[in-house]
Amino acid sequence: MDVSGGQSVYPLHRCKTIHLVRHAQGIHNVEGEKDHSAYLSRHLFDAHLTSLGWQQVDNLRKHVQTSGISKKVELVITSPLLRCMQTAVGVFGGEDSTDGIDVPPLMVTDAGDSNHPAISSSNCPPFIAVEGCREHLGVHWCDKRRSISEYKPLFPAIDFSLIESDDDVLWEADVREKIEDVASRGIAFFKWLWTRKEKEIAIVTHSGLLTHTLAKFGDDCHPDVKSEICRRFQNCELRTMVLVDRSMVGSDSSATDYLGKNPSGEDAPSDVTCTTPDGLPN
């Protein structure tokens, strides 16, 4: 019989806090709203942010700073597509880069037709690009990435070392990734997060990946909670969730648990009836 009242208890070290962010408005969003067939257009290849998108980035940046999220995030993971990397560095990066700073910038001036000043990598968490959190693959040119060798000079402080191929070998011009494959890829990405030591991670990704992956979660919850998990992300929306390891995927031990008995001594629980040697209650 379930007496938990719909609640769950999990060890803290088997949980991660993830801040899920959909990229800000890109040029493909504007054209796709007018005509869905625009997504097939080559001129939307690796779509960059619009000027409105950069305003959305600035507003989310203010929110993560005033809410304290920016001080808690230990790692920023971004899809290796231009619009996500622009969003990621704009929201979670350092202040605008200035002369005399000897660390590489997260983004150089005007990267990806941004008309935006350089963004510093000072006083911010590390950034890594991961293929597993890319958008729905294939057919739509906005979802095809450039070569990593093109990205590196634009985003010098982003770590691209986890991406094996310089060219985009995942995107196909005439084959659209199946929805169930997008969801499987997203779930595999979530499992991969358990290989990371960081406990609080920001992930900047895409609506398709988020929608199809999160739809696989929450079936054991109240319908309203399921709806909250699965609700479609708006441009530059941030939603904070807790990822729970219920299958021993991760191997981290607790950094806060304390075993007690130091020094060692008798510790029979108070609700256990103690008896004297003659069998009488003590």
Q: Which residues are catalytic?
A: 23, 135
Say if CB 182 and CB 143 are below 8 A apart: no
| 192 class by beta-carbon count within 10 Å (0-12 exposed, 13-18 middle, 19+ buried) | middle
Render the burial of 46-80: b for 16+ CB within 10 Å, e for the rest: bbbbbeebbebbeebbeebeeeebbeebebbbbbb
Tokens standing for residue 230: 């699965």
Both tokens assigned to 167: 């060219």
Measured CA to CA, the distance from residue 81 to residue 129 in angstroms comes to: 9
Residue 25 phi, psi (nearest 5): -60, 130
**Helices marked H in 67-116 — which ranges?**
69-72, 82-92
Contact present, 136 and 143 (Cβ < 8 Å): yes
Task: State how far the Cα of 44 lies from the Cα of 81, in Å rounded to an integer.
Answer: 12
